[in-house]
Amino acid sequence: MSLIGNLFCSTVGRKFLMAVSGLILVGFVIGHLVGNLQIFSHPDKINGYAQFLHSLGPLLWVTRIGLLIAAVIHIWAAIALTRTNAQARGTQHYGVNRWIRAPFASRYMRLTGFVVLAFLAYHLAQFTLGYASSSTFKGHLPEYTMASDFHIFGFPAVEKGHAVDDVYSMVFYGFQNPVISFFYILAVGLLTIHLLHGFQSVFHSFGWYSASWAPALRAVTIIFCIGFFFGNASMPAAILSGWLKPAQGTNVAAQPRTALNQAP
């Protein structure tokens, strides 16, 4: 078989593709988290950052398409392997089913994957496309005026006084809804569990793993997962609890009690 054949048709190859695509998606969620944590800073940061991303134009689309392909491969590999595995199990099942030592997270990869996928669809609808909670979608809110210059890695990206989408308020409004916040935290929790097994599994599937540094990898995985969960959960938690107050100059500071379900 050819290389493509080996990668796409063999179980080992498919696990490799799943690992590669999973790693790309992990890279994305890390970047996403870092970007979003700017909500704890001045609104210029997150709004300027969002404006910067939009200004990338074709590059943004390349990235988006790349991520989409990674997600499609990840999901395709999961479905293909699941079908192979179901066939391998055959039609007669054990009378007694039990686990010997499979780690907790590994037992629910499909379940956590499904919920994360559903959440992702909602998340995109809410914050990227504006189909859900459209009254507070960034496109429907009055624009935000930058209070200072926004730099990214030291390079000027957005100038002071520029009017940009008020992403800050959109997020703030979104997380003021306890249902949305709860679902968000739950989904992030499940994604963390998914990563708890997935992140280590990547190393197995790449064939890059050694008993000598396995404990270190385990520790890094756990620290990463804890950081990932609390980083993501901190935003809805801070907003919902009222610990994080809306910043001056944003829509949400001017109109804190906007009815979320009101039509635009």
Nearest CB to other proteins, comparing residues 55 and 82: 82
Residues 6+ apart with CB under 8 A from 168: 39, 43, 46, 47, 144, 247, 250, 252
User: Of 200, 221, 232, 251, which one interacts with other proteins (CB under 8 A)?
Assistant: 200
Binding mask 206-235 for other proteins (x = CB under 8 A): xxxxxx------------------------
Contacting other proteins within 82-101 (CB under 8 A): 84-85, 87-101
Distance CA 26, CA 24 (A): 5
Nearest CB to other proteins, comparing residues 32 and 204: 204
| Contact by Cβ (8 Å): 17, 5 | no
Q: Rounded to the nearest whole angstrom, what is the least distance from the CB of residue 228 to other proteins in the complex?
A: 20
Nearest CB to other proteins, comparing residues 101 and 257: 101
Distance CA 147, CA 238 (A): 23
Residues 6+ apart with CB under 8 A from 153: none
At 29, which amino acid appears? V
Q: Rounded to the nearest whole angstrom, what is the least distance from the CB of residue 14 to other proteins in the complex?
A: 7
Nearest CB to other proteins, comparing residues 49 and 199: 199
Q: Among the residues of 10-107, which ranges form H helices?
A: 11-36, 43-55, 58-89, 104-107
Q: Rounded to the nearest whole angstrom, what is the least distance from the CB of residue 1 to other proteins in the complex?
A: 6
Contacting other proteins within 102-121 (CB under 8 A): 102-103, 106-107, 109
CA distances to 3, 60, 102, 189, 246 from 150, rounded to whole Å, are: 46, 19, 48, 32, 19
Give residues in contact with other proteins (CB under 8 A). 1-3, 6-7, 9-16, 81, 84-85, 87-103, 106-107, 109, 197, 200-201, 203-211
